[in-house]
Structure 1
Amino acid sequence: MGEQLLSVGIDIGTSTTQLVLSRLTLENRANPFTVPRVSIAGREVLYRSAIHFTPLLSDTVIDAAGVGAIVAEEYDKSGFDRSQVDTGAVIITGETARKENAREVLSALSSFAGDFVVATAGPDLESILAARGAGVDKYSKEHHTDILHFDIGGGTSNLALYTHGELAATGCLDVGGRLIKIDRASRTVTYVSPALTRAGVDGVPAVGQTATPEGLEPVLRAMVEALEQAAGLRPGRDRLDAFLTSDTRWEPRPVPWVCFSGGVADCIYDQPEDWLAFGDIGVLLGRAIRSSPAFSEERRLRGSETIRATVVGAGSHATDLSGSTIFYREVSFPMKNLPILKLTRSEEGAGAAELARCIREKLAWYRDEGGLTQLVLALRGEPNPGYGRVQELARGIAEGLEPLRQAGFIPVVLVEADQAKVLGQAMAARMSGPLLCLDGVGVDNGDYLDIGAPVADGAVLPVVIKTLVFNKS
C-alpha cells in the first residue's frame, strides 16, 4: 500500500461553509531509475461536515471568528485533530471572495491544516473548480461532447463550458437561491438583492411583503429564462444580458448537455417538500429549473457532486522535473502556490494578435480586489514549430502577459512540449526584466504550481503540481 495522507477541503461560499476530510493514498508510478511521479491512487471520504450558513458581520465583512468556530466544531465532530492533517485547500468563493477581510479569513484558517493550497476564487475560477468537482471536464473528454455546467449558489450562478474536455468559456449570472430571503414563520420577505432591481425583473416583492410561490413565479421564470438563454436553448439574450454580472461576457450557443451543482442543484435533484426549507427561494428555483422543457431530464447530466462540488477534498502533490530546455532570467526561487491559466488548443494556435487578446482577457480570471496576481500561463506546445511560428508565439505571449509584468509579477510560461528554451529566448528579446519558461509538465486549469530552485547545475527545475482533489476514485 502506498503512502497515506489526511486531507481537508474547506469551502467558504456566499451562502454556505463546509468541510470535507479524506484519506488519500499516494503511489509512485515511476520506475526506480527515474524521477518520482507521485499521484493519487485512491481517495476515501472519511467525514463530510454539516452545511452551515456562512456567518457575516455585515454585507461586506465575513465573521472570521464565526467561520473559525464552525471549522473547529467540525474537526471535533470528525474525531480528527488538526495536527493530523497533511494537506488541504481553503477556498473562498462567490461573493464571499469579495468581502473586505477575505484574506484575513484565509490566513486565520491556514492553521487548520498543513501544506495548504490557499486561494481566493472569483467567479471565473470558481466556475472551473465547481465544474471539475462535478466531473464535467472528465465526462466531456471521455464522451467527446460539449457540456455547460451551472454552479448555482446563493448569490450567483457560475458557468463553465467544456468542449471535448477543454474549458472553452466561463461566465457569471446574478441568479441564486438567496437573492430573496423569507422569514419561515411569518412568510414575509426580509431581504431582496439589488441584483433583481438591476435586472429589471417584474414582480419583485418588497421587504415586509408576504411571499407565496405563485407571487414569486415571475421572478423565478426570469431567472430560469436567463439560464436557458445562456445555454443557447431559448431564443434571444434579453434575460441573459439583464442578469450578467458586471465585467462578464457570454456568447450563448446550443449545448447537448447541461449539468448543475451548488446548493440549488440539490433542490433540482432531491426536492424538499417545504418550499421555505432554507428561508429563501432556493427550493422554488430548483423546482423551476427542473420543470423547464429546455432543461429536460434527457439533457441534464447529474454530476458526481452537487453542493460539495467546489471542494470535496484537498491537494494532491505530483513531483516532477521540468526538462533541460528551460529558460529563466532574474528569477528568485522558490515560487509557491501559482495558479494555472491554461489556454485551449484553438487559442494557442491563433496568430500573435489574437493570442495576446485571449491571454489578456483570461488574466481577469485571477484578478482580485488588489488587482492581478502572479500566475502561470500553460500551453501544450506545437510539434516541431518553425522559426517564424516560435517568433509569432513569443510576440503574442509577451504582449498578452505585459499587464502582468507591469503589475510587478514575473511572466511564467509552462509548455508541455520540449520547447521552453527557444520560446524563452524569443520572449526575452521582446521584454525586459524577470522571465521564466519551463516545459515537460502537464497541468490544467484549477491546478497550482510550486517551483523550486534549479538543480543539476541549473539544468532542471523541480516542480510540484498541486491539484485540487475532486472526484478521484
Structure 2
Amino acid sequence: MRLFYHDGPYGHVHDDEDHDHDLDNNMLWISDHIELNTVGIDIGSAGTQLIFSKLQLARRGEDLSSRYVVVGRGSFYRSPVSFTPYSDNSRIDHEEIARIVDDAYKQADMNAEAVHTGAVILTGEAIRRENAQAIGDALAEKVGNFVCATAGHNMEAQLAAFGSGAARRSYDKNERILNIDMGGGTTKLAVVEKGKVTQTAAIYIGGRLVVTDEEGVIVRLDPGGASIAERAGYRLQLGDRVTPDQLQAMGDWMAQAVVDCIAQRPLSDRCRDLYLTPELQDLGRIDGVMFSGGVAEFIYEREERDFGDLGLYLGQAFHKLFDNSRFPWEVLPAGECMRATVVGASEYTVQISGNTNYISDHSLLPKKNVQVLKPEFELEGEINPEELAESIRFHLKSFGIQEGKADIALAFHWKGTPEYGRVRALAEGIVDGLQRTIAGGRPLLIVLDGDLARTVGSILHEELKLSNPIVSIDGIMLQDFDFIDIGQQLEPSMTVPVTVKSLLFRM
C-alpha cells in the first residue's frame, strides 16, 4: 500500500539521537495517515463505466479517538461510458463486460494488486439479469484486493446522493435536499439532510426502458417500458415502429409520474404500482432538488443527442414542467450526472476501522457478505451480562437466524467510559448470548463504534479463555440489515477496511 507523506525537514540530522527521533515522528505520522486506491465499477441498465480514485484518511487524534476519517478524495481516471452489453434479454454479456473492465485498467495503468478497495455495483434493470450476481462476484474477485459486489435500489440511491454532490451541498449549506437519480431502468430518490441520507426509495421509471434502432423500430422493450407505454395510450411490442410523438408522450407521462410519486399523498394506485421499494415518508421541507443519472444530462442540457431511447424525451418533459410551474421545488445546479453512482461506489463505500482492533488469527480475513445484527441494548451505565445475553438471543430469533449455522457480526453502540468492569460485562454477555456459535467453533465477529475492541478481544481470549477465532474491530457504525465485507489489516496503520453494502439481486 502506498502512503502519502507531508513535507518535513528530513535530511537535517546531526546525530543518532536526532535521527531516531525523526524516524519515530515519521513512523507516527505514517500510522496516522492512509492513502487508498479505490475503484468503482457501475454496470447499469444503460451504461457501464469505471472510476479510479484516491482516498486520503487521517486519524482523529484531537479527540483521542482511534477512528480514521476521510480528509481528501478525488478520481484520477474515468473510463468512457459504454452501453451495457446484453447477450439476450435475460443475460449480460460477461465477456464484453470483462473486456470493458480490462481496457479501463490498462488505460488507468492500474492492476488488481494496486487497488485497495472499492465496489462493483449492478444497478437498475441490470440487476434483473439471470447472471448479474455471478458477474458481480467474479469481477469483485479479479479487480482488487478488497472489492465488493453489491446491488440494490436503496444502496444505489445512497451512492448517487453522495456521488452527485447532494450530500456535500446539504452539509455545507445546511439544506434538506432531494436527489433524483434517473438512470436507464429506474429512478432512485434520496432525501439528504446535513450531509446524511435519511430516506431512500426507487420507482420503475428510466430512460432506457424502450430502445429503438435508427428507423424507430423497437429493439429492446423492458416490462416497465411496455407498461408505461400502455398507460400513455400505446400498446407496444418488440419490432413495432414508434414515432417521436409517441416517445414524447411516454416521456411526459413519466416526468409527471415522478413528481406525483414524490409529492402526492396518499399515493394513487398508479404511483403505488411504480414503487420498487417502500415509498418515501414524511417528505417535509425540501430546499431544493438535484438531478443525477444519465437522464440528468438532458435535464441540465449538457447532452442533446438522441440515443434511440427515452432519455432525450424525458429531459424535454421535465423542462415543460419547469416552464409551466408544475415542478414544486427549486432545481439546484448540476453536480455529477451520468457518473454520480460510480463516483459514489469509488469514493464513498468504505469505512476504515480504528487502530485498536483485536484479530486473533489474520488468516480469517477477508470476510465477505456477513450479516450485521445490532441488539437493542443500551451500553450505558452499569451493564448486566444476563440481560445483554438475552437481548442477543432475542435479536437472533427476531431475524430468524439459526445461531451457529453462519457467521454474523454483532454491532454495538458504546456509551460512557471504558471502565474495566463495564467492558468485562460486555464480553461476558456476548459469550452467554452466543453459546451455540462458541460451541461450534465459529468465529466471533464484533464491531464497535467506540475505542475498546482490543480490550474486548483480550478479555474474551485471555480471561474468558475462548478458543474461538476472534475479530473485534472499532470505529465503525453499523445498523441492522447491513451486510459487511471485512478486509485484511492494513500496515502500518493497523486498521481494517469495512464495506457496508446491500446484497439484493433479481428484484
TM-score by length of 2: 0.68
Aligned ranges for residues 288-299 of structure 1 at < 5 Å? 288-293=317-322, 296=327, 299=330
**2:283 corresponding residue in structure 1:** 253
Shift of 1:56: 1.5
Q: Deviations over 1:33-59 (max 9, x none)?
A: 978654443334221111011112222
In structure 1, what is the equivalent of residue 209 of structure 2? Answer: 179
**SS in structure 1 opposite 2:53?**
strand
SS at 1:258's partner residue? strand
Flag the 1:394–1:283 CA change in 2: closer, same or farther, 3 A. farther
Q: Where do 1:118-197 residues align within 5 Å?
A: 118-183=148-213, 185-197=214-226
What are the residue-to-residue correspondences of 1:457-472 with 2, within 5 Å?
A: 463-466=496-499
Corresponding residue of 1:375: 371
Task: Please give the alpha-carbon distance, in whole angstroms, between the structure 2 residues aligned to 1:163 and 1:285.
Answer: 27
The partner residue of 1:283 within 309, 312, 316 is 312
> Could you list the runs of 5+ residues in structure 1 that have no partner in the other structure?
339-372, 454-460, 469-473
Percent sequence identity is 29
Deviations 1:207-260 (A, max 9, x none): 444433322343223322221123216875343113123x64444635413222
- Matched position secondary structure for 2:41: strand
Change (3 A) 1:173 1:463: same
Partner residue of 2:486?
A: 450
The 2-side partners of 1:396 and 1:215 are apart by 57
Q: Distance in 1 between matches of 2:319 and 2:392?
A: 44
For the pair 1:403 / 2:432, whether they are aligned, the reply is no
Give SS of 2:198's match: strand
Work out whether residues 157 and 181 of structure 2, in 8 Å CA contact, stay in contact via their aligned partners in 1.
yes
- Pairs within 5 Å for 1:410-425: 410=408, 412-415=410-413, 417=415
How many residues are treated as equivalent by the alignment? 417
1:83 Cα deviation from its structure 2 partner: 4.6
Per the alignment, do residues 306 and 233 of structure 1 end up closer, same or farther by CA in structure 2, a change over 3 Å counting? farther
User: Is 1:100 equivalent to 2:130 in the alignment?
Assistant: yes
For residues 313-368 of structure 1, give each alpha carbon's deviation from its aligned partner in whole angstroms, at most 9, with x where no partner exists. 356562415689xxx9xx99846466xxxxxxxxxxxxxxxxxxxxxxxxxxxxxx
Alpha-carbon distance between aligned partners in 2 of 1:75 and 1:332, rounded to the nearest angstrom: 29
Q: What residue number does 1:227 align with?
A: 258
Q: Give distance in 2, aligned partners of 1:78 and 1:176.
A: 31
1:357-372 pair list within 5 angstroms: none
Q: How much has 1:17 moved relative to structure 2?
A: 0.7
Structure 2 counterpart SS, 1:292: helix
Counterpart for residue 341 of structure 2? 310
Task: Specify the code of the residue in structure 1 equivalent to 2:412.
Answer: L
SS of 2:155's partner is helix
CA distance in structure 1 between the partners assigned to 2:188 and 2:373 by the alignment:
22
Asked if the contact 2:45/2:208 (under 8 Å) is kept, the reply is: no
**Aligned in 2, Cα 1:70/1:391: closer, same or farther, shift over 3 Å?**
same
* One-letter amino acid of the structure 2 residue matched with residue 105 of structure 1: I
**1:181 aligned partner, one-letter code:** V
- Name stretches of at least 5 consecutive residues in structure 2 with no aligned partner: 6-33, 417-421, 438-443, 451-474, 502-507
Question: 2: CA distance between counterparts of 1:296 and 1:244?
Answer: 20
SS at 1:286 equivalent: helix
Q: 2:377, 2:388 within 8 Å by CA — same for their partners in 1?
A: no
**Per-residue deviation, 1:66:** 0.7
Conserved 8 A contact 2:111-2:144: no
CA distance in 1 between counterparts of 2:176 and 2:376 reads: 21
Q: C-alpha distance in 2, partners of 1:22/1:260?
A: 23
**1:6 alignment partner AA:** N
TM-score (norm 1): 0.72
Which among 300, 305, 309 is matched to residue 269 of structure 1? 300
* 1:123-176, Cα deviation, whole Å (9 max, x unpaired): 122222222222333433454443332221111112223344443332221100
Give me the whole-angstrom Cα distance separating, in 1, the residues matched to 2:46 and 2:312: 14
1:266–1:201 Cα change, 3 Å: same
Q: CA deviation at 1:302?
A: 4.0
Which residue does the alignment assign to 2:232?
Answer: 202
Q: Residue 76 of structure 2 corresponds to which residue in structure 1? A: 46
Equivalent residue of 1:169, what SS?
strand
After superposing the two structures, state which structure 1 stretch, 258-267 or 425-434, moved more.
425-434
Partner of 1:243: 274
Greater fraction helix: 2
2:354 corresponds to 1:320: yes
Deviation at 1:417, TM superposition (A): 3.4
